A and B are shown apart, each in its own frame.
Chain A
Amino acid sequence: MNKSSPMVIKNIKLKDDASKISKESYDVFIKNSLIQDVIKSRIDGHYENYFEVDGKGNIMSPGFVDLHAHFRDPGFTYKEDLKSGSNAAINGGFTTVVLMPNTQPAIDNPDILGNQLDRSNNLPIRLLHTGCLTQQRKGEALLDFKDFKSMIEKGCVGFSDDGDHLKDSIMIEHALRFFSGRVPLMDHAEDHLFLDEGVMNEGVVSSRLGLKGRPKDAEIRSVKQNLDIAKKTGGWIHLQHLSCGESVDLVNEAKINGVDVTSEVTPHHISYTEDQIEIHKFNSQFKVNPPLRTENDRIKCLEGLENGVIDVVATDHAPHSDIEKRNVFSDAPSGINGLENAFGVVASKIGIGKAIEKMAKNPGSIIKRISGLKIGEIRRGYIADLTMISNENWILDLDDIKSKSKNYLMNEKKNFLKGKPIMTIFGGKLIHHD
């Protein structure tokens, strides 16, 4: 079989406009890497000249799009590299992944970006790149505007100092004015002045465990300030990994007031709270940044995701080696893997249809807004990036993990994941099949 020859995926369910899974079955036609047509399935339908794949009543989603992942390459390839990260992404049903620029060297000039783009060309999925906001990610000085411009022209989909903090908010204002909505400023919103070397959420649990806390105020103040700047400048701000209920309220208010804001939440922030650190006796797996918050925050983030205040789920896939992560809580690095179980986690919280909206359609439309790429929908003329989902409960098996890091949050409840990605098609080519 020629994997790029015209193909029809028969007998599949689709997400409808209300993010419900359709009762009817459809056939999706793919030709020249694009979706050629979508029609209701016909009984005994047979299509000449098309390679036929029987979808067996499974659900077809647009390929998942992750707006936030760390592949650690170059610089920390013992944790992950472009290839292993891509394989992990495919395993999780992703066809497009946006990489953060906190590599070594950091992606802070057009040459390094160009090199990353070249290295991403031969990989089986679409890797999109972001650049640093500040030189060497030091938070001190913005990149030269000519570099911003050149990097945007090369295909940079946003700028972020994710994981670090800008020394001065005036830089955000200048950057937002310069980007003027062409690309988002992807903002890791935490005010470093409030962090005080905290290692978990500041609250009852940090008091009990004798660990230094990262106050919610660090995020809330930063979200508020940067939304104000976005409003003032008219620039596009994309708030990364929101973790506080108050942040969700602020984004809601900003959206009502017409601020150009999009936002994301991670699978772990809608699934877990700070209590896990006490329950699991300082298990460093639960050390993430921003930290897991309270049950009230978790619920507010989940509600914000469901009601549209939060646009997308992004994994913040942050692999570390076992030897680094397996350490005393305060000495272990922050971050957990996300790509390979993200969909199952999210669908277990909001249902498969809604998860498709938040992990394919909405992030796809953000990428379309930036670059014009037609991804995130199963519609005529869109790129044929597709992920087939089996409506079953499942569990991520350690042996199936493709990432170099095994650090996925594993729920002790058996088969808690819902909706398993079983087949991935990228640009009309079958790249993964269970």
Chain B
Amino acid sequence: MSFIDTGNLNNQDIQRLMNKAGYFKKTFLEKKPITKYLKGKIITTLFFEPSTRTRTSFEIAGKILGAEVINLQVNHSAVKKGESFLDTIRTLNSMPIDGIILRHPKSGSAYFAHQNLDIPVINAGDGSFEHPTQVLGDLFTLKEALGKVKNLKVTIVGDVLHSRVARSSIKAYLKMGCDITICGPVEFLPKFNFNYGEVVTENLSEALKDADVVMTLRIQNERLHESEKMNLNRYISDYQINKENLGQAKLMHPGPVNQGVEIEIGLINDYRSLIGLQVNNGLFMKMAILQDYLGDQNE
């Protein structure tokens, strides 16, 4: 089975994965052996976009559980010689691989791979559509930090329009019974609302009012320059999260962080920040997902 879209998960699926992540974290920290879970499995990472953290984290997660993890370097593969995406994934289909971890710049490419492959696909981010492993890791982090993920007011601030984390988060958090508000300048909000039940506002103080969690999204400088209407200074003055406006909320960020842009310099290390824990827990959630989707069912 493939893991592509938080929209396909129900509350129980998410609970199960969080429990598994908790188990792996505990077992790993106790230095107990856990290589049996994916022993004998061969997993390929297939990244069509640059990524250090996500790819490395998946590689480590797989190896801790005993899998062989092969990193397919797309730049050096036949793709550079003009091989189509379909041909590339079909080649992998004819090899004894137990799962593919895919990142691709086009929305929908994870579904496309799934539709054309017999082996499970784990979506490690496709275009602006989905980044489900990140979001499940974030939910796990919140559960650890706050003891629950229900009835929270979660506010997402920044470039929602281009963000796969935002799309994944909205669907997943609403399923867990949270309220979701998205906030940013009009250029960074989708022209048409998602209509999942999210609240949309351009007003930051309104968005931050009573928030339990504030998730900031990375601002890509090149996108700012694209727009004549907006510049970095205006974004910082109107939408940057700082020590004051964060209030009592917890701070999250899917990374990599532009300190001094979406959040005030130093806030990353503030007592309210869960950003370090997110990275750490992301590893255990990836282990949970790999085991759940690629492991043998009797484990």
Give CA–CA (A310, B86) in the complex, Å: 40
A325 to chain B, nearest CB (A): 11
Q: Per-residue CB proximity of B135-177 to A under 8 Å, as 1/0?
A: 0000000000000000000000000001010010000000000
Q: Which of A194-208 contact B (CB under 8 A)?
A: 202-204, 206-208
A282 adjacent to B190 (CB under 8 Å): no
In the complex, what residues of A have CB within 8 A of residue B191's CB? 202, 207, 213
A210 adjacent to B194 (CB under 8 Å): no
B115 to chain A, nearest CB (A): 7
Interface stretch, picked from A174-182, A326-334, A345-353, A395-403, is A326-334
A330 adjacent to B107 (CB under 8 Å): yes
A210 adjacent to B167 (CB under 8 Å): yes
B70 to chain A, nearest CB (A): 23
> Known interface pairs A209-B129, A210-B128. Does A328 touch B85 (Cβ–Cβ under 8 Å)?
yes
B294 to chain A, nearest CB (A): 21
**A interface residues, how many (CB within 8 angstroms):** 20
B85 adjacent to A327 (CB under 8 Å): yes
Q: Per-residue CB proximity of A263-288 to B under 8 Å, as 1/0?
A: 00000000000000000011100000
- Decide yes or no whether A211 CB sits under 8 A from chain B: yes
In the complex, what residues of A have CB within 8 A of residue B192's CB? 202-204, 206-207, 213
Selected contact of B112 from candidates A202, A204, A207, A328, CB within 8 Å: A328
A211 adjacent to B107 (CB under 8 Å): yes
B57 to chain A, nearest CB (A): 23
Determine the residue in chain A with the shortest Cβ distance to B170.
A208
B106 adjacent to A204 (CB under 8 Å): no
Most buried by A among B127, B130, B167: B127
A286 to chain B, nearest CB (A): 12
Q: Per-residue CB proximity of B21-55 to A under 8 Å, as 1/0?
A: 00000000000000000000000000000000000
Give CA–CA (A203, B128) in the complex, Å: 15
Give CA–CA (A282, B104) in the complex, Å: 14
Most buried by A among B85, B107, B111, B164: B107
Q: Which of A332-370 contact B (CB under 8 A)?
A: none
A34 to chain B, nearest CB (A): 51
B182 to chain A, nearest CB (A): 11
- Decide yes or no whether A43 CB sits under 8 A from chain B: no
A208 adjacent to B108 (CB under 8 Å): no
> Known interface pairs A206-B192, A210-B167, A281-B115. Does A326 touch B86 (Cβ–Cβ under 8 Å)?
yes
Selected contact of B194 from candidates A204, A281, A323, CB within 8 Å: A204
B192 to chain A, nearest CB (A): 5
In the complex, what residues of B have CB within 8 A of residue A202's CB? 191-192
Give CA–CA (A211, B192) in the complex, Å: 12
In the complex, what residues of A have CB within 8 A of residue B162's CB? 210
B86 adjacent to A210 (CB under 8 Å): no
Q: Which of B94-129 contact A (CB under 8 A)?
A: 104, 106-109, 111-112, 115-116, 127-129
Instruction: Enumerate chain B interface residues (CB-CB to A < 8 A).
Output: 84-86, 104, 106-109, 111-112, 115-116, 127-130, 162, 164, 167, 190-196
In the complex, the 7 A-B pairs of residues with the closest C-beta atoms, listed nearest first: A210-B128, A282-B108, A207-B190, A210-B107, A210-B129, A281-B111, A329-B108
A-B contact pairs, 12 of them (CB 8 A): A202-B192, A207-B190, A207-B191, A207-B192, A207-B194, A211-B127, A213-B192, A282-B111, A323-B86, A327-B84, A330-B106, A330-B108
Instruction: Enumerate chain A interface residues (CB-CB to B < 8 A).
Output: 202-204, 206-211, 213, 281-283, 323, 326-331
